[in-house]
Amino acid sequence: MILNKIIDVHVHICPPEIRNNRKQFFEGEPEFANIYKDPRANLVGCSELIENMDKENVAVSVVFGMPWRKEKNYILNNDYVIESAKRFPERLIPFATFDAYNANALKEADRCFSKGAKGLGELAFYIDGLDKSALKALYPIADLCKEAKSFILLHTNESVGHFYPGKSPMTLIQLYNLIKAYPENRWILAHLGGGLPFYGFMKKEVKHVLSNCWFDTAAMPFLYTANALRAMSDAMGIEKFLFGTDYPLLPPSRYKKELFKSKLNQSEIDMLLFQNAKKIIDSFSLV
């Protein structure tokens, strides 16, 4: 099997102010601190990303920052993402992210769309999962994205198994109810939707409810055995899966072994790596 051109839909970048002084951003940002207090947790900027994309044969990356709680922090990161995409318009697609509970979250979403952001995410609810308060916070954001015909890329994770930094207490029923509540929105569910695609094997309702959902592969080598991708694509259809790395957590090359072991054929691998993302980018005018 040959890995051809790649579109990576899940990449984090941040400005030098954060990369060079991460400890100064820990206060009041427990989610960021929890993940990046480990000095081995990499942070990269757009120049490093472009260099790695060239090395790894990545044509386009969807880029975003972190779901900061503080307004000044998410504005700083979102502006950097948007300006980076202006520097490399053929290579980077900017999404905007923030804490959805912030009183000015909707204002920030609207501001970023006006400056060129093409979607929102990675939005995350690390503390309480996707509970009623999360649904309430997402309501105006989902309406805005529906009107803009843009994606929401949502952090999801499995509700069983080992704990790791960034794993939220969300459940699949919470996630499923969220998608049911906003059926017209277009969602990218990160980290293989927390295992939700497996339920595409059910005879009734699930495929219809998830018809506007795509699932990215971010962090898959840490979470699932390779044959999970074969099973999930059999359940939902390979066209519903997008290649995402969570770079700089993992580089694209780290996924090669998993893809070769997944029992996907060459055509399916090409769809996963490039064609599926290219179609939705073209269809929804993200570039």
| pLDDT (mean) for 163-171 | 86
* Residue 46 pLDDT: 97
Please tell me what DSSP assigns to residue 247: B
CB-CB contact of 118 with 284 (8 Å): no
* Residue 257 pLDDT: 86
Predicted confidence band at 127 (pLDDT cuts at 50, 70, 90)? confident
* Residue 285 pLDDT: 56
* Residue 287 pLDDT: 40
* Three-class SS state of 82: helix
Residue 237 in domain: yes
Sign of CA dihedral 268, 239, 276, 240: negative
Structural domain for 106, as ranges: 6-281
* Three-class SS state of 141: helix
CATH number of the domain enclosing 174: 3.20.20.140
pTM: 0.95
Residue 286 in domain: no
Residue 216 in domain: yes
| pLDDT (mean) for 224-237 | 96
Mean pLDDT of the chain: 94
| pLDDT (mean) for 104-116 | 97
CA–CA separation, 70 vs 73, rounded Å? 5
Measure the N-to-C terminal CA separation of the chain; round to a whole number of Å. Answer: 29
Residue 1 in domain: no
CB-CB contact of 242 with 271 (8 Å): no
| pLDDT (mean) for 78-94 | 97
| pLDDT (mean) for 183-206 | 96
| pLDDT (mean) for 135-162 | 93
Count: domains in the chain = 1
Predicted confidence band at 286 (pLDDT cuts at 50, 70, 90)? very low
The encoded tokens of residue 48 equal: 């490093």
Residue 287 in domain: no
Residue 37 in domain: yes
Q: What percent of the chain has pLDDT over 70?
A: 97
1 pLDDT higher than 60 = no
Count CA within 13 A, CB hemisphere, residue 118: 21
Q: What percent of the chain has pLDDT over 90?
A: 86
* Residue 79 pLDDT: 98
Residue 100 in domain: yes
* Three-class SS state of 13: coil
Residue 48 in domain: yes
* Residue 163 pLDDT: 86
* Residue 3 pLDDT: 59
